[in-house]
């Protein structure tokens, strides 16, 4: 009996597009039109996938594919592969009655039957015969809440369902003012609360920092002497200017972020390069101090890097100079050595030249090779030296020259 009664349900269909998903679904499973996981997925001739309802609506307005604008007709749309449909139907969704208190979650294809048959927070027809009201399924076995009952104070007929909220504002009932504890009839209470003289209120300039509070009836005594109220116009002006500047600052920061890539964080060694500065700014608020010290850290980091680079360059300069000197020395030494060698060579060449001269001269003085022996012999004989040996010696000398 119970199931057949509770299966009567006004929420015959669940709006699948309004469902919330347990985990955010993959972007590939979203319809490009409704941005929800596909519902009854279909595929176009150009291989794009949409919800069946979405692409039909779109084709009513324009016969093109919404993604690539290619021509498309209703005939070009076919059901998408079953696998895609299964993928989206298996996504886990939260019960649409979650706000009323249902904590159930299930696969999307099961959510309709959950709401229709199981969900205790779905509205079903009231069990009382002849009653057309709706009631949450979990309360269906209670007494009918749609019967009219009379309010015992104002004699006004209200439904049982609404009795509780009625009692809070029944015009014949009075409630206590939360500030002065005096009873007022409900319709008059809100008017009274709005200016109850006993209510403790803040100074009108409390948003500028005045800590003073007092009952409403005494606030006039304070406003006359409050410094904050006296300063209100100028404070107001400053607040407005700060707001404008903050806005401007935000825009500039956005532009800067676009222009400059995020900078590397300063290394710990560089931040300690100038220790006395981290202790100088202690008076300002913590956020600005953080920012300034961060800026300073960064500046010191840059500065130390700059110093390091400068010393590097100096070192390199010195090395280059040293190398220059070394090379000069080497060149001079080499030059000296070459000079010596050249002198030696020159001496050797001179020696050779002398020998050549002597040989040429001796050859010019000698007769032709055939008669040379006789001439030479005659000379030598004439010189009176040992005859045969001398001739032979001159012969052999001539041959050496030839070689």
Nearer CB in complex with other proteins: 25/266: 25
Cα dihedral sign, 363-364-370-376 = negative
Alpha-carbon distances, residue 232 vs 210, 222, 313 (angstroms): 11, 15, 60
Contact 94, 105 (CB under 8 A): yes
CB of 253 to other proteins, least distance (A): 11
Rounded to the nearest 10°, the torsion over CA 188, 191, 195, 196 is 20
CB of 138 to other proteins, least distance (A): 25
Nearer CB in complex with other proteins: 47/354: 47
Nearer CB in complex with other proteins: 31/189: 31
Footprint of other proteins (CB under 8 A): 17-18, 32-36, 54, 57-58, 60-62, 64, 66-67, 69, 244, 247-248, 251, 254-255, 257-258
Nearer CB in complex with other proteins: 67/104: 67
CB of 127 to other proteins, least distance (A): 29
CB of 65 to other proteins, least distance (A): 8
Nearer CB in complex with other proteins: 60/103: 60
- The DSSP result for 341-357, as a single string, is HHHHHHHHHHHHHHHHH
Contact 7, 29 (CB under 8 A): no
**In angstroms, rounded to a whole number, what is the distance separating the alpha carbons of residues 91 and 110?**
10
The conformation of residue 153, written as its DSSP 8-state character, comes to T
CB of 117 to other proteins, least distance (A): 25
Cα dihedral sign, 210-212-214-217 = negative
- DSSP-H helix ranges across 260-386: 268-271, 286-365, 369-383
CB of 108 to other proteins, least distance (A): 14
**In angstroms, rounded to a whole number, what is the distance separating the alpha carbons of residues 102 and 53?**
29
Nearer CB in complex with other proteins: 254/281: 254
CB of 32 to other proteins, least distance (A): 4
CB of 54 to other proteins, least distance (A): 7
Nearer CB in complex with other proteins: 58/293: 58
Cα dihedral sign, 24-26-32-37 = negative
The pair of three-digit structure tokens given for residue 291, joined into one six-digit string:
């920012």
Nearer CB in complex with other proteins: 57/349: 57
- How many residues does this entry show for the chain? 403
Nearer CB in complex with other proteins: 6/89: 89
Q: Residue 59, SS3?
A: helix
CB of 67 to other proteins, least distance (A): 5
Nearer CB in complex with other proteins: 27/403: 27
CB of 240 to other proteins, least distance (A): 13
Contact 25, 37 (CB under 8 A): yes
Q: Which residues, 6 or more positions from 349, have their beta carbon under 8 angstroms from its beta carbon?
A: none
**In angstroms, rounded to a whole number, what is the distance separating the alpha carbons of residues 39 and 51?**
5
- The DSSP result for 84-121, as a single string, is HHHHHHTSEEE-TTGGGT---EEEHHHHHHIIIII-TT
Contact 5, 79 (CB under 8 A): no
């Amino acid at each position: 009996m119970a199931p057949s009664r509770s299966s009567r349900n006004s929420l015959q269909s669940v709006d699948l597009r309004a469902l919330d998903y347990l985990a955010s679904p993959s972007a590939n499973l979203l319809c490009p039109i409704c941005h929800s996981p596909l519902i009854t997925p279909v595929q176009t001739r150009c291989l794009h996938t949409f919800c069946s309802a979405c692409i039909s609506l779109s084709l009513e307005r324009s016969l093109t594919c919404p993604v690539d604008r290619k021509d498309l007709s209703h005939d070009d749309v076919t059901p998408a592969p079953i696998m895609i449909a299964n993928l989206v139907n298996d996504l886990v969704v939260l019960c649409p009655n979650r706000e009323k208190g249902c904590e159930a979650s299930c696969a999307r294809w099961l959510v309709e039957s959950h709401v229709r048959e199981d969900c205790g927070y779905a509205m079903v027809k009231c069990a009382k015969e002849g009653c057309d009201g709706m009631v949450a399924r979990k309360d269906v076995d209670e007494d009918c809440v749609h019967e009219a009952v009379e309010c015992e104070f104002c004699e006004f007929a209200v439904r049982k369902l609404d009795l509780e909220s009625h009692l809070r504002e029944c015009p014949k009932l009075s409630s206590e003012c939360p500030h002065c504890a005096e009873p007022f009839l409900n319709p008059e209470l809100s008017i009274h609360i709005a200016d109850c003289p006993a209510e403790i209120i803040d100074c009108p300039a409390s948003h500028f920092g005045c800590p003073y509070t007092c009952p409403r009836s005494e606030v006039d005594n304070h406003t006359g002497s409050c410094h904050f109220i006296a300063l209100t116009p100028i404070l107001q002006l400053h607040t407005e200017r700060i707001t404008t500047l903050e806005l401007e600052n935000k825009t500039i920061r956005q532009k800067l972020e676009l222009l400059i890539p995020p900078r590397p964080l300063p290394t710990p060694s560089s931040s300690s390069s100038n220790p006395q500065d981290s202790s100088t700014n202690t008076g300002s608020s913590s956020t600005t101090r953080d920012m300034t010290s961060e800026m300073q850290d960064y500046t010191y980091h840059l500065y130390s890097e700059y110093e390091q680079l400068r010393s590097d360059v100096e070192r390199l300069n010195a090395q280059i100079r040293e190398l220059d000197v070394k090379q000069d020395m080497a060149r001079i030494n080499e030059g000296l050595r070459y000079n010596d060698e050249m002198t030696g060579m020159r001496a050797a060449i001179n020696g050779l030249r002398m020998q050549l001269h002597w040989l040429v001269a001796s050859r010019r003085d000698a007769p032709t090779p055939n008669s040379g022996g006789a001439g030479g012999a005659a000379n030598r004989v004439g010189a009176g030296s040992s005859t045969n040996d001398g001739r032979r010696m001159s012969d052999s000398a001539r041959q050496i020259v030839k070689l």
